[in-house]
């Protein structure tokens, strides 16, 4: 069942068309990530869903209730939508307890019990209730902001880059914890982020935005492994895009012959491999023999050591087309720049739809 539906949402700021006919369904209880580069329209869309702005045209429907139909809108405070901004926007002069309980009835007999329950939900120690926001870590502040938004028992939760101010480790653990608690509470959530790894890890539906339009919407694995075009592929992670001759479910490309699983396409096309599908091994003397499958020889021209992983650029030999491919190798025993290597591919190549 769908919680939120967007139909043909348009928004312009003067001459800038920020949103151009957005169409999106967000299933009840799901987590959707809207991901896209800076300026692609993510925040504009979130603000229209929240009710902070009206669309120029299009409809926003939440659980069957029309919240916006062009410029006729239900005000933000009557939408039943929770909103957690980038910086948490806690009230600095209020205690954690008063921040969490901000929207709760001050005279309600169960107010304290509800605040305690919300603290438990976001895994914050109740001993923190009398602290001020500046006495908390960034991750703890974001949890308080989430608890404050949860206090309203929202039909929909909007998260606007809520983890971006946190450092890498805290960011990953906070993201995981927030995803788990929202899932456990069954709260439909939309996360806006420009971080593709965050979108893929957090969501069960990823909507890729580009220049005011949704380029692709699908499950994380679907958009990552089967993107609609090379631009979307590159936005979601490193992409190895190769020209190929397609025939009967196979692709002949610079790396050799690879299965595609697409028996319908024939002739020239473009295929996608992710760097983790490629493997490099030292090439001691003889080049890989013909008939050894998707293997060919090349030279490492660039090496970027990132710890566990080493990102290599390998120039394939001229007889393999001279293409430059990116490969992820284990950081421990990665070949050095100048090393001769055999590059092999595993798994299925994705064939981009003909444009
Ligand atoms: N209030 C405004 N007035 C004029 N132009 C605006 C306004 N808000 C957004 N825009 C423009 O609309 C486009 C989309 O902006 P938006 O903030 O929605 O993008 P975004 O994807 O959220 O970007 P970022 O990741 O940098 O926050 C941009 O070209 C931006 O300059």
98 and 219 together in one domain:
yes
48 and 197 together in one domain:
yes
Q: Are 216 and 352 in contact (CB under 8 A)?
A: no
225 and 249 together in one domain:
no
35 and 156 together in one domain:
yes
Q: Domain with 320 in it: what CATH number?
A: 2.40.50.140
CA separation, residue 159 to residues 104, 188, 255, 348 (Å): 21, 11, 42, 35
pLDDT of 82 higher than 50: yes
CA separation, residue 108 to residues 113, 117, 120 (Å): 10, 15, 19
Which of 13, 34, 162 has most ligand 1 atoms within 8 Å of CB, for mutation? Answer: 13
Provide mean pLDDT across the span 168-180: 81
Q: Where are the alpha helices (DSSP H) in 36-137?
A: 42-50, 96-100, 111-121
* pLDDT, tens digit (0-9, with 9 covering 90-100), for 35-61: 999 999 999 999 999 999 999 999 999
Which of 10, 33, 42 has most ligand 1 atoms within 8 Å of CB, for mutation? Answer: 42
- The domain of 195 spans 2-234
Q: Domain with 61 in it: what CATH number?
A: 3.40.50.300
Query: Residue with the nearest Cα to atom 16 of ligand 1?
Result: 41
User: If you measure from the C-alpha of residue 45 to the centroid of ligand 1, how many angstroms do you get, rounded to a whole number?
Assistant: 10
At 291, the pLDDT band (50, 70, 90 cuts) reads: very low
User: If you measure from the C-alpha of residue 10 to the centroid of ligand 1, how many angstroms do you get, rounded to a whole number?
Assistant: 13
* pLDDT, tens digit (0-9, with 9 covering 90-100), for 178-189: 888 888 888 999
Which of the pair, 331 or 340, is modelled with greater confidence?
Answer: 340
pLDDT of 13 higher than 90: yes
Atom of ligand 1 nearest to the CA of 40: 21
- Among 180, 202, 234, the domain-final residue is 234
| Coil/strand/helix, residue 347 | coil
- Among 234, 267, 290, the domain-final residue is 234
CA 158 – CA 189 distance, rounded (Å): 6
- Among 197, 217, 234, the domain-final residue is 234
Query: Residue with the nearest Cα to atom 17 of ligand 1?
Result: 43
Q: What pLDDT, on a 0 to 100 scale, did the predictor assign at position 273? A: 94
206 and 321 together in one domain:
no
217 and 273 together in one domain:
no
CA 41 – CA 20 distance, rounded (Å): 9
- Number of Cα atoms under 13 Å in the Cβ half of residue 242: 29
197 and 248 together in one domain:
no
Q: What pLDDT, on a 0 to 100 scale, did the predictor assign at position 294? A: 59
User: If you measure from the C-alpha of residue 50 to the centroid of ligand 1, how many angstroms do you get, rounded to a whole number?
Assistant: 16
For the chain, the domain total comes to: 2
243 and 177 together in one domain:
no
User: If you measure from the C-alpha of residue 199 to the centroid of ligand 1, how many angstroms do you get, rounded to a whole number?
Assistant: 19
User: If you measure from the C-alpha of residue 34 to the centroid of ligand 1, how many angstroms do you get, rounded to a whole number?
Assistant: 14
Which of the pair, 284 or 152, is modelled with greater confidence?
Answer: 152
Percent of the chain with pLDDT over 70: 96
CA 109 – CA 323 distance, rounded (Å): 70
* pLDDT, tens digit (0-9, with 9 covering 90-100), for 200-216: 999 999 999 999 999 99
213 and 253 together in one domain:
no
User: If you measure from the C-alpha of residue 270 to the centroid of ligand 1, how many angstroms do you get, rounded to a whole number?
Assistant: 33
Query: Residue with the nearest Cα to atom 30 of ligand 1?
Result: 39
Question: Phi and psi (nearest 5°) for 38?
Answer: -60, 135
Helix (H) or strand (E) holding 199, with range, is helix 196-202
- Number of Cα atoms under 13 Å in the Cβ half of residue 271: 33
Atom of ligand 1 nearest to the CA of 14: 4
pTM of the model: 0.86
Token pair 């001691």 is found at: 284
66 and 121 together in one domain:
yes
pLDDT of 8 higher than 80: yes
Query: Residue with the nearest Cα to atom 4 of ligand 1?
Result: 13
Atom of ligand 1 nearest to the CA of 46: 18
69 and 202 together in one domain:
yes
Question: Phi and psi (nearest 5°) for 305?
Answer: -80, 120
Q: What pLDDT, on a 0 to 100 scale, did the predictor assign at position 56? A: 96
CA 38 – CA 146 distance, rounded (Å): 24
User: If you measure from the C-alpha of residue 59 to the centroid of ligand 1, how many angstroms do you get, rounded to a whole number?
Assistant: 20
Query: Residue with the nearest Cα to atom 31 of ligand 1?
Result: 39
CA 302 – CA 82 distance, rounded (Å): 46
196 and 273 together in one domain:
no
> Cβ < 6 Å from ligand 1: which residues?
13, 16, 18, 36, 38-44, 194
What is the value of ipTM here, to two decimals? 0.97
Average pLDDT over the chain reads: 88
């Amino acid at each position: 069942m769908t919680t939120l539906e967007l139909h043909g949402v348009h928004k312009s700021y003067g001459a800038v068309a920020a949103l151009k006919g957005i169409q999106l369904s967000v299933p009840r209880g799901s987590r959707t990530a809207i991901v896209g580069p800076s300026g692609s329209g993510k925040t504009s869309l979130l603000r229209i869903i929240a009710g902070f702005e009206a669309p120029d045209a299009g409809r926003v429907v939440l659980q069957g209730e029309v919240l916006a139909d062009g410029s006729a809108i239900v005000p933000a405070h009557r939408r039943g939508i929770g909103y957690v901004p980038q910086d948490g926007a806690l009230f600095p002069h209020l205690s954690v307890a008063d921040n969490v309980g901000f929207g709760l009835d001050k005279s309600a007999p169960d107010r304290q019990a509800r605040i305690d329950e919300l603290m438990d939900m976001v895994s914050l120690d109740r001993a923190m209730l009398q602290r001020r926001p500046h006495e908390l870590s960034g991750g703890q502040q974001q949890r308080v902001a989430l608890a404050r938004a949860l206090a309203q028992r929202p039909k929909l939760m909007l998260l606007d880059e809520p983890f971006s101010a946190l450092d890498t480790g805290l960011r990953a653990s906070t993201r995981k914890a927030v995803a788990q608690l929202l899932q456990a509470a069954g709260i439909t959530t939309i996360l806006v982020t420009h971080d593709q790894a965050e979108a893929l890890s957090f969501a069960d539906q990823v909507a890729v935005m580009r220049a005011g339009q949704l380029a692709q919407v699908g499950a994380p694995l679907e958009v990552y492994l089967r993107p609609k075009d090379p631009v979307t592929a590159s936005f979601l992670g490193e992409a190895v895009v190769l020209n190929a001759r397609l025939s009967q479910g196979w692709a002949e490309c610079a790396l050799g012959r690879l299965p595609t699983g697409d028996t319908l396409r024939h002739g020239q096309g473009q295929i996608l491999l992710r760097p983790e599908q490629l493997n490099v091994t030292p090439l001691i003397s003889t080049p890989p023999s013909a008939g050894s499958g998707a293997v060919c020889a090349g030279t490492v021209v660039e090496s970027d050591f990132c710890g566990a992983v080493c990102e290599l650029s390998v120039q394939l030999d001229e007889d393999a087309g001279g293409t430059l491919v990116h490969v992820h190798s284990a950081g421990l025993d990665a070949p050095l720049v100048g090393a001769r290597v055999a590059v092999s591919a595993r798994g299925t190549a994705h064939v981009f739809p003909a444009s």
